[in-house]
Every structure is written in structure tokens, then in C-alpha cells.
Structure 1
Amino acid sequence: MPATRRALLAALTDGPIRGPELAARLGVSRAAVWKHVEALRAAGVDVESTDDGYVVTGVDGYSGEAITYGLDAPFQIEYHDTVGSTNDRARTLASDGASDVAVVADEQTASRGRLDREWVSPPGGVWLSVVCRPDVPPAHAPAYTLAMAVAVTRACREAGVDARIKWPNDVLVGEGGDRGGQKLCGILTEMEGEADRVSWLAVGPGLNANVRPADLPPEAGATSLLAERGDPVDRRVVVQRILEEFDDLRDDLRGAVSEWEKYGDTVGQRVRVDTPGGVVEGDAVGVEFPGALVVETDGGPVRVTAGDCEHLRPTGE
């Protein structure tokens, strides 16, 4: 989105503003202001010309302009109707030096989950990747995945769906199966860094928002906000809330991990975790910063930092 259009959206957020004042503030001609206003209208931002000036009367689109308007977080929005993968695009932006950019797409054609697993991303979902450059060591990177899981869970709950988290990055609803419920969202986090600091992170949640049940792979045990609610959500608002919550949480990573435990459903479960070093089975008793799952096994506590977690049954059953 052009910088001038972002500045125009910011100016409109403050209320009615006259064309000459907009032109002076933006450093463009009145004709250029009019062209940008027309572009906003085409993107679903309803701008009316009143006696007091231009004013936004509503937002009914899903676009970069629509998401930017009213967003209370310092992310630039790059929107695509269709993209191969938002995480791949985020990686390209990061390599070019970008920071605090959120790549949003209506549809992904080459999306992937953890371990390069296929991830179905039809139109109607929230397919999102956030590029950031935190001044933290690489060992702290897992906390950003947990922070994003909390952000997504809060947004889902605000939409009326009782979501919770399975360690480390699945947002679920309902009960049953080795996953512990049906999957609403998965999160793929990628990074580059040196020994002592992260160069960049791309944190990519894929949320089945307004995806029809018929478009979800039945063998994956997936669901959507649409299926759970019975009616669509305003994806623009959902994206805004995810970004706003993530922005708050990333400023306090230890607090973010503590918040994860409030919404997490893994602690208190008998689990089996397939890790790079072998299978760990026991009772999940806690999560430690920056995101390790603590499993009490027959041989004592084990801290698991990565792996596929299967819920066997609640502890004590």
C-alpha cells in the first residue's frame, strides 16, 4: 500500500477532514487526494464527502486498506487476493530488510505447516504472516509462537468460539482425538539469526475463519469459526485483534508464556511427544519460558522444546 494512502487512512481516523487540509498534510494535490479516496472506496472503506470534509462511515471490505483503518498496532499491511504462501512472502520481505509488516492473503496456493506438511488454505480463511526483528537471542524465538497462539485464541474467543491451545502451536475447539479437539489454527514460525541474536522472525498463523466445512479436509480433524458459530466472522476485525494482541504480548515474552498456560489444554494431560531425540511419554505438568513443555516421565521430568504432541488422556484417568 502506498505510504500516502496509509497517511490518508491515519488522517481519516481522527474524524472529518477537508480536502485542502488533507492535501497540505499529505503534500499532494487535491486531485491526488481524490484518487486515493476513490481507491479506498474500491477497497471497501466507505468514505463520504460531507460539509465538514471527508469522513469514514463504514468498512465492509477485506483488503490492506480496510485492515489498516482503525488498526491499533504498528504493522504495515501487505494484502494479496492470492499468494503462494504468506510465510514465503514474509521471508522475502525480511531478506529485503522489512520489519513489522503483516502479509495477509485471502487464499494461499502453496501453503505449508510445520515440517513442510500440506496446509489447505482456501478463500475465507485468515492467512497471515508477521515479519519482525526482535532484539532477542534465537533461544527465545519459541516464545513468539506461544504469544501468537494466545493472540489467535483471544481473537477466537472474542468471536464467540471457546478456543484453547495444544502445545505448542495448535488452536483447537471441542474435544476428542489425539489432538484433543478440532483444529482451528496452526502457526508456522521461521527465523534467521546469529549465535547471539535473531535477525528476523516470520510468525504465520493460518486460521480457518470463514472456511466452509465442505472445504476442510475431513481426515485432518479441522473446523472453522464459521462452522462453530453458524455464521461468518468479520475477518478484518479478527486480523486486527490478532495483530493488536500479538503486539502487546511480544513486549513481555515471559508474560506471554504465562498467558499461554491460561489458555493451554496440554498441561494436565497424559501426553506422548515425538521429538527429534525420541518419544517422550508422561504427564504434562507445565510450560517453562521460552516455551518448553515439562513432562513428568517414569525417569523424572523432561523438558521438551520441539516435537509433535499427542494427548492420551487427562492425568489420573
Structure 2
Amino acid sequence: MTNTRRAILERLADGPRSGEALADDLDVSRAAIWKQVEALREQDFVIESDDEGYALVDVPEYGGDAIQFGLDAPFTIEFHEETGSTNDLARERAADGAEDLVIVAEEQTGGRGRLDREWASPSGGIWLSILVRPDRPPATIPLFTLAAAVAITTAVRESGVDAGIKWPNDVLVSERQRANDGSSGEQSESDGVPVSPDPDGEEAKLAGVLTEMEGEADRVEWLVVGMGINANLDADRLPDGSTSLRTELGEDVNRRLFVQRVLETFDDLRNDPDRILERWRADALTLGREVRVETASGDTVVGTAVDVEHPGTLLVETEDGVERIHAGDCEHLRPT
């Protein structure tokens, strides 16, 4: 979105404005205002005009300018109808010197998750990558992965789905909770308080995070935080063991507002490590669970997940004491 378009929308959000007033405010010609208004209309912004001037009537459901409009975070949005991978595009932009950039795609043809697993990314989901340049040593980068999981979970819960985080970054919904709710997508409530997912139930994956970086021993050159969220997708378009916001709610979510909430929460957390850990613990499904973790070194650790500590290390209580796991693939175990 150009600076002029952004300024026009900001002013029209406060009420109708004449072309002359907009031109005076922005120190451009009336013809420039008309040109930018027409460009916004081509992006599906509904802007009506009459003798009193221009009025913003409606905002498109999705798209780069739509997400940028009203976003309370210092990110620039780059939108693509289709791309191979938003993470790959973000890496290219990083090589060009970009920062605080968010690549969003309607569809990915080469989406991937952790350990190079394929991630189905059809139209209707939320596929995005955040490019930042944090002034932090590489050892602290796992905190950004936790912050992304918290940001997604916050938006998911506010949409009406009671989800939680499996260490380190998978956002899950309990299938048993859905069964108890009659599979209607509505939250169970007790005294007006949403019931958390049953920790003993079958869990379905709603979203995941893939973080990639480049740097040296003492500094990070750039960091890309990729997010894949099954938003407005039908169950038959999802891999086994997955769910979507549409499936849970029985209706679509406003993806524009959802993405804005994710980005704003991530921005709010990214410079506050202590609060990231506090929020992650509050949202975690893993803590207190029996888990099996395949570590990055190839070992298997089985025990009770008891805590997470800076910068995202999982503490597992085993028969031989507490194991600290910095990276690995975590599985929640059912009770025997």
C-alpha cells in the first residue's frame, strides 16, 4: 500500500471527506486523490462518492491493502494470490535488505513445516511469513517461535475456539472437546468460563510455525517466522489429524482481522522475553502431560513435561531426573 493510499484510508475511516480536503491534507493534486481512490476500488475497497465527497463503506475481506488498513503494528504487507512458499519469498526479501515485512499468500504450492514436512496450503487458509531483524544473539531465537505460537493461539481463542500449544509451536484443538460439544464448534462453558481442551482427548492440529534465520555466532542477520493456519477450509481439504477454524466454528472467520490480531500480538511480545514465556505457559497443553520427545540429537526422552525455560527449553521429568530439551519433536502420550 502506498503512503498516499494509507493516508486516504485513515482519513476516510473517520468519516466522509471531499477530494479537495484530502488533496489539501496530503499536499497532492485532486487528480492524484482520484487515481488512488480508483486503485483502492480495484482492490475491492467500497468507496462511494457524491457531492459531499468520498465515503469508505466497506473493506475487502482479505488482501495486502486490506490487512494493512487499521493494522496497529509496524509491518508492511506484501500479498500474493499464489506463491511456492512465503518463507522462501521472505528469505529473498531479506537478501534485498527488507525488514518488518510480512509476506501473505492466498495459496502456497510448496508450503512446508518443520523437518521439511509438506504443509497443504490451499486457498482459504492463512499462510504468511514475518521478516524481522532482531538485535539479539542466535541462542535467543526460539523465543520468537514461542511468541508466534502465542500470537496465533490468542487470535484463535478470540475467534471462539479454545485451542492450546504443543511444545514448541503447534496449535491444537481437542477432538474430545468437540465431541462433547456435539461437534458444533461452540465452546463448552461452566459458569460462563470456557472449558479448556480435555488433555486426555484426541488432538487435531490447527496451525504451525516454521522459523528460519541467518546470522553469525553473536548476531542475527535476519529471521523469518512462517505461520500456517487452517482458517476457512473444509475438513475434506485437510490432512488426517488436522482441523480448521471453519470446522470448529461452523462458519468462516474474517481473515483480515484475524491476521491483524496475530501480527499485533507478535509485535507486542517480540521484545519482551519474560512475557513470552509467561504467555506460552498459560497457553500450553504440553505442561503437566506425559510426553515422548525425539530430540534433535536422535535420542528419545519419555516423561512428564514440567516447565519451559529461556529461551524455550522444555523440561521433562524422567525416571533419571530432569532432562532439558532444546529442540525436538514432541508427542503427547495418552494415559495407559
Sort the TM-score into its range (normalised by shorter chain): over 0.9
1:56-67 matches, within 5 Å, as 56-67=56-67
Which of 246, 254, 265 matches 1:226? 246
Which of 263, 288, 295 matches 1:268? 288
SS at structure 1 position matched to 2:334: strand
1:1-317 matches, within 5 Å, as 1-50=1-50, 52-175=52-175, 181-218=203-240, 221-277=241-297, 278-313=299-334
1:12 is displaced (CA, Å) by: 3.3
SS at structure 2 position matched to 1:222: coil
Q: In 2, Cα distance between the equivalents of 1:311 and 1:244?
A: 30
Q: Out of 98-107 and 171-180, give the one that drifted further.
A: 171-180
Q: In 2, Cα distance between the equivalents of 1:256 and 1:50?
A: 49
1:49 is displaced (CA, Å) by: 2.5
1:245 is displaced (CA, Å) by: 0.8
1:2 to 1:174, Cα distance in 2 relative to 1, 3 A = same
SS at structure 2 position matched to 1:313: coil
1:283 to 1:230, Cα distance in 2 relative to 1, 3 A = same
1:207 is displaced (CA, Å) by: 0.2
Aligned-pair Cα RMSD in Å: 1.9
Large movers: runs of 4+ above 6 Å: 176-179
Q: Out of 158-167 and 58-67, give the one that drifted further.
A: 58-67
Aligned-pair identity in percent equals 58
Which TM-score applies when normalising by structure 2? 0.88
Flag structure 2 segments of 5+ consecutive residues without an equivalent: 177-198
1:143 to 1:3, Cα distance in 2 relative to 1, 3 A = same
Q: In 1, Cα distance between the equivalents of 2:257 and 2:214?
A: 30
Which letter does structure 1 place at the counterpart of 2:286?
Answer: T
Flag structure 1 segments of 5+ consecutive residues without an equivalent: none
Which TM-score applies when normalising by structure 1? 0.93
1:187 is displaced (CA, Å) by: 0.4
1:11 is displaced (CA, Å) by: 3.7
Q: In 1, Cα distance between the equivalents of 2:265 and 2:52?
A: 34
